[in-house]
Amino acid sequence: MALTIRTATLSDLDIVTEIEAKCFPKSEAATRDIFKQRIITFPNSFLIAFEDDKPIGFINGCITNSFFILDEMFEDVNYHNPNGSYQAIFGLDVIPEKRRCGIAALLMSAMIENSKKFGRTGLILTCKKELIHYYEKFGYRNLGVSKSVHGGAVWYDMILDF
């Protein structure tokens, strides 16, 4: 089993859209058009994992100076600031049959290293209550209930400062 992680390209568009549909409810899932805009706008912040050339997961998000993710950021790539301080995480997706195998941790670690390489101050994300402990393992701090109501869910703001 050979695991590789690389930046996503437009040729990955259908694959990431399919993976997203398996990982998130329709109300929370990004669309193909949104993924296309993200790959074009912030390709260095869109990593995809492959196992023996089969796509199994990805992580993506824009660069921002904000300490919090705003709902508008999910759909409007104009919030991306290539010179921003924080790497936002919009989604960490792993296909169901490959969960609990360390793939999400590898993707997160790759994004953290990528963020350090590009001189970011840290990373931000929102997550549901049951995942707070997972992100704390990477050093994220829980900042409490988010103002985000993306997909009608309750989210928590998390921040990882370097």
Confidence (pTM) = 0.95
Range list of β-strands (E), 68-155? 86-89, 91-94, 122-127, 141-145
Element of type H or E holding 39: helix 32-41
88 touches 124 (CB < 8 A): yes
Give the pLDDT confidence of 80-118 residue by residue, as tens digits. 999 999 999 999 999 999 999 999 999 999 999 999 999
- Gap between the Cα atoms of 93 and 96, Å rounded: 9
- pLDDT, average across residues 123-129: 97
Give the pLDDT confidence of 19-53 residue by residue, as tens digits. 999 999 999 999 999 999 999 999 999 999 999 98
pLDDT, position 2: 85
Sheet holding 91-94, edge to edge: 3-7, 46-51, 54-60, 91-94
Give Dmax (Cα) for the chain. Answer: 41
> What is the fold of 3-161?
Aminopeptidase (3.40.630)
CA-wise closest residue to 27 among 155, 156, 152: 152
**pLDDT reading at 1 higher than 80:** no
